[in-house]
């Protein structure tokens, strides 16, 4: 059932309550560790509020729609932990803008989703609440960092889950779990009230069962927010206008094939692209030559920003507080060392290394230059075509433990998603089919021009509808 159909069934408190109870039950019996906190008390209050609004004749675009929220979004009704020991026990006095905009249209938050702690990871194995399993195959990871969100949608806990994407964290789990994951243009959705990872690439977006559902959620959350000065004006006043009879010109990014991409993944993507061609859309090969530099650039820029953003965890204002410290400096060090896990420590140290005196020009400045080059190459490629296409990830969902011993190997899962993040471009993972041998879902990645989200969503809807 689409969100629109679900909303049309909600006419009063009783009908909203029935949907929300069902979703809360699914959350409380979740066997995938997709959700790590319950919002049932607040959800019950919200059922009353939304029900009354409906009974008064209010029109709410998301009336009674259950939403699972990645636990790095500040929300009322439960702790916000970012799945980290550092923030266990943190009760936010305010909510994120995205949650408030969804609530204003009648959506009801039902649970908080698991993630890699602080959204650092590609498998959700790095959660201080234990890993999430992939509903498609429980021996495999759901991807990350929004793994709980993708699993929650895939397992039917809610039709919408919120995720955040810094270098692929919405798209990768969407690909691994066989759902739609939409990363909006940088700046189109407010970051206010979301635990910061890398401020220049963090983007908030939805994971859903269909492109139309993602478009509806984007339409509700997109646009300027006075609480986030990096938000941009929306380019469309209606992101749900997806029907288009236009024939697409699709730029197939040649660097996104070969080079360590699984043949099974390539085969699913090629089959879907061929189907698009047979339906009358044009495929052209395009090149983003700096793709080979994108991951290196990302793992300089992003840890640098992480080291800065995570400096706020001093143990004093919020977060884990060390006991019986000998001095203020000792208090800082112990609070941080006890509260942060290895991946956060690793990224903070990489960040401080590349920013430190004597290394800044060699690493950080080079990365900023590579970012310019990459952004220019994307703009040039998108000048000739409607969207860019390729796989989301080089592999389908991998087994637990496959990459945990080697951080660099884990980072390589993001090799095809970080480029568009660095360039601030909107990108989406659309389910494209399953691998022939293991029947694992594979996502087709489509990338659009900055602030051309409507055009990208239209292309995604076309790609979703074409039968391979």
The Cα 24–Cα 37 span in angstroms is: 11
DSSP secondary structure string for all residues of 126-180 = T-TT-PPPBTTBTTB---SSSHHHHHHHHTTS-SEEEEEESSSTTHHHHHHHTSE
Task: Work out how close the CB of 389 gets to other proteins at its nearest, in angstroms, rounded to a whole number.
Answer: 21
CB of 342 to other proteins, least distance (A): 8
DSSP string, 60-110: -TTTT-EEEEETTB--TTS---TT-GGGTT---SS--HHHHHHHHTT-EEE
Of 345, 380, 383, 384, the residue at the interface with other proteins (CB under 8 A) is 345
Beta bridge partners of 228: 225
Q: Which stretch binds other proteins (CB under 8 A): 40-48, 204-212, 288-296, 454-462?
A: 288-296
Binding pattern to other proteins, positions 437-466, x when CB under 8 A? -------------xx---------------
Q: Which residues are catalytic?
A: 70, 145, 169
Number of residues lying near other proteins (CB under 8 A): 76
* Per-residue CA distances from 62 to 19, 59, 153, 246, 257 (Å): 12, 9, 16, 29, 39
208 vs 217: CA distance, rounded Å: 9
Binding status of residue 349 toward other proteins by CB under 8 A = yes
State yes or no: residue 334 binds other proteins (CB under 8 A): yes
Residue 44 within binding range of other proteins, rule CB under 8 A: no
348 sits near other proteins (criterion: CB under 8 A): yes
28 binds other proteins (CB under 8 A): no
Q: Which of residues 302-331 bind other proteins (CB under 8 A)?
A: 307, 311, 314-319, 321, 325, 327-329, 331
User: Angle at Cα 419 formed by Cα 187 and Cα 183, nearest 5°?
Assistant: 40
**In this chain, which stretch among 29-37, 116-124, 227-235, 453-461 interacts with other proteins, using CB under 8 A?**
227-235
**Among 66, 159, 181, 193, interactor with other proteins by CB under 8 A:** 193
Tell me which residues in 57-96 interact with other proteins (CB under 8 A): 76, 90-91, 93-95
Which range of residues in 118-126, 255-263, 270-278, 286-294 is near other proteins by CB under 8 A? 286-294
Residues 195-214 that bind other proteins (CB under 8 A): 200
Site membership for other proteins, residue 260 (CB under 8 A): no
Tell the smallest beta-carbon distance from residue 332 to other proteins (Å): 5
Q: Does 407 help bind other proteins (rule: CB under 8 A)?
A: yes
Q: How far is the CB of 91 from other proteins (least distance, A)?
A: 7
User: Residue 239 interacts with other proteins (CB under 8 A)?
Assistant: no
Please state the closest distance from residue 101 (CB atom) to other proteins, in A: 10
Using CA atoms, how far apart are residues 177 and 148, in angstroms rounded to an integer? 10
Q: In whole angstroms, what is the distance from residue 242 CA to residue 252 CA?
A: 22
Q: From the list 423, 427, 454, 463, which residue makes contact with other proteins (rule: CB under 8 A)?
A: 423
Residue nearer to other proteins on the CB measure, 118 or 411: 411
CB-nearer residue toward other proteins: 91 or 278: 91
Give, for 251, the enclosing helix (H) or strand (E). strand 249-253
State the CB neighbour count (10 A cutoff) for residue 272.
22
Contact between 287 and other proteins by CB under 8 A: the answer reads no
Looking at 187, 206, 394, 448, which residue binds other proteins (CB under 8 A)?
187
Residue 186 binds other proteins (CB under 8 A):
yes
CB of 247 to other proteins, least distance (A): 29
Check: CB of residue 463 under 8 Å from CB of residue 249.
Answer: no
* Ranges within 113-172 binding other proteins (CB under 8 A): none
Does 266 bind other proteins (CB under 8 A)? Our answer is: no
Closest listed residue to residue 83, CA positions, set 144, 133, 141, 127: 127
What residues does 68 pair with on adjacent strands? 111, 161
Nearer of residues 31 and 357 to other proteins, judged by Cβ: 357
Shortest Å distance, C-beta 103 to other proteins: 10
DSSP for 38-61? E-HHHHHHHHHHHHHHHHTT---T
Q: Is 273 exposed, middle or buried (0-12, 13-18, 19+ CB in 10 A)?
A: buried
Report strand pairing: 203-208 vs 160-165. Answer: antiparallel
10 neighbors 63 (Cβ within 8 angstroms): yes
Q: Which is it for strands 66-70 and 427-434: parallel, antiparallel or unpaired? A: unpaired
**CB of residue 192 to other proteins, shortest distance in Å:** 7
């Amino acid at each position: 059932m689409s969100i629109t159909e679900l909303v049309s069934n909600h006419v009063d408190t009783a009908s909203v309550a029935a949907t929300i109870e069902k979703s809360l039950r699914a959350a409380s019996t979740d066997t995938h560790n997709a959700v790590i906190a319950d919002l049932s008390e607040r959800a019950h209050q919200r059922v009353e509020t939304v029900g009354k609004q409906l009974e008064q004749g209010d029109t709410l675009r998301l009336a009674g729609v259950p939403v699972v929220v990645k636990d790095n979004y500040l929300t009322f009704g439960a702790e916000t932990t970012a799945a980290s020991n550092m923030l266990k026990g943190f009760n936010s006095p305010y909510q994120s803008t995205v949650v408030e905009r969804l609530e204003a249209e009648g959506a009801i938050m039902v649970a908080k989703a698991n993630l890699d702690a602080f959204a650092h990871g590609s498998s959700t194995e790095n959660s201080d609440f234990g890993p999430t399993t992939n509903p498609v195959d429980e021996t495999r990871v759901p991807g990350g960092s929004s793994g709980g969100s993708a699993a929650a949608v895939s397992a039917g806990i809610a039709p919408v889950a919120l995720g955040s994407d810094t270098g692929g964290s919405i798209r990768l789990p969407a690909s691994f779990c066989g759902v739609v994951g939409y990363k909006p243009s940088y700046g189109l959705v407010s970051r206010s009230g979301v635990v910061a990872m890398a401020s220049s690439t963090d983007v908030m977006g939805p994971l859903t069962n269909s492109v139309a559902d993602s478009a509806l959620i984007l339409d509700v959350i997109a646009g300027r927010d006075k609480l986030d000065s990096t938000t941009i004006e929306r380019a469309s006043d209606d992101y749900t206008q997806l029907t288009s009879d236009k024939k697409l010109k699709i730029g197939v990014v040649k660097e996104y094939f070969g080079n360590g991409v699984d043949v099974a993944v390539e085969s699913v993507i090629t089959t879907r692209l061929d189907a698009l061609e047979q339906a009358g859309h044009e495929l052209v090969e395009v090149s983003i030559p700096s793709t080979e530099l994108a991951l290196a650039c990302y793992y300089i820029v992003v840890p640098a920003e992480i080291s800065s953003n995570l400096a706020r965890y001093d143990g004093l204002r919020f977060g884990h507080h060390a006991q019986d410290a000998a001095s203020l400096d000792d208090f800082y060090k112990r609070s941080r060392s006890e509260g942060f896990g290895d991946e956060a420590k690793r990224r903070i140290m990489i960040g401080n290394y590349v920013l430190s005196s004597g290394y800044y020009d060699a690493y950080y400045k080079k990365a900023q230059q590579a970012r310019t080059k990459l952004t220019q190459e994307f703009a040039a490629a998108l000048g000739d075509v409607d969207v860019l296409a390729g796989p989301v990830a080089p592999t389908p969902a991998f087994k637990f433990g496959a990459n945990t011993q080697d951080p660099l190997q884990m980072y390589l899962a993001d090799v095809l998603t970080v480029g568009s993040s660095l360039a601030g471009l909107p990108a989406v993972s659309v389910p494209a089919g399953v691998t022939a041998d293991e029947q694992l879902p594979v996502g087709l990645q489509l990338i659009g021009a900055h602030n051309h989200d409507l055009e990208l969503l239209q292309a995604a809807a076309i790609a979703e509808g074409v039968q391979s």
